[in-house]
Amino acid sequence: MDNMDNTFTVYLVRHGSTLLNSYNRMQGWIDSDLTEEGIEQAQQAADKLSDISFDRAFSSDLGRAVNTRNLITNQLQSNLKEAADLPEFWEVNFGFFEGLNSDDIWAGIAAPYGKHSQKDLMDIGGQEEVRNAMNKADPSHVAETYDQVIARLKAAFQQLRDHCEPGENILVISHGTLIRTMADYLGVDTTDNYPINGGVSQLSIDDDQAVFESYNQ
């Protein structure tokens, strides 16, 4: 059977803005509530997706993703076969740095390289350098490495393949750094292009591969 026959479409959305986002805090495995702006962003994402008839809707089980999923599906009034949490779509784990000021943390991580920011580290070696530099700088060494994130992403794609059928339209709510790392891994240039809250990316997934059709729209 041709692989095209097994393709389903994923609309991948970053959750709406949260309290910690508004304070420029590192928010990975910790969680905070959607702000009023975040609720509006979820509603705007639903507007972008209003022409799509969704078969299933998934999110990480972090509250900000679940709430975004519920806001979107309620607005779209989709007749879903399934709505569920998939923990594999959690945000990247930032370890010791969770909840701390993002600019300050990245300045500290970049300093041993003679650099000043996450972007500087991206310029050296892309997302792989960024993730591994954070793990190295984390005194607990709990922050996920690039290889750990990619292994989790592969498991996430397999979860989708196990749940979804060919031709279906799937809504997935996830998180900024995970989406960016996914795009980077699959060949999208994410330089100076971090997923916006409520931003939509589209992927085609079959038995063998996942392809970004659009990113961060």
14 is in an annotated binding site: yes
- 191-217 in b/e burial notation, b at 16+ Cβ within 10 A? eeeebebbbbbbbebbeeebebeebbe
Which residues face 45 on adjacent strands? Answer: none
19 is in an annotated binding site: yes
For residue 205, which phi and psi values (nearest 5 degrees)?
-125, 130
| Cβ neighbour number for residue 72 with a 10 Å cutoff | 27
User: Residue with structure tokens 């392809």?
Assistant: 211
135 is in an annotated binding site: no
Per the annotation, the verdict on 116 as an active-site residue is no
Q: What is the DSSP string of 115-175?
A: --SHHHHHHHHHHHHHHHHHHHH-TT--SPPHHHHHHHHHHHHHHHHHH--TT-EEEEEE-
Per the annotation, the verdict on 15 as an active-site residue is yes
62 is in an annotated binding site: no
Asked if residue 45 lies in contact with residue 198, where contact means CB atoms within 8 angstroms, the answer is: yes
Q: Output 110-113 pairs: Cβ under 8 A, ≥24 positions apart.
A: 112/137
Per annotation, catalytic residue among 88, 91, 128, 144: 91
20 is in an annotated binding site: yes
Tell me the binding residues for substrate. 14-21, 64
Q: Which residues are catalytic?
A: 15, 91
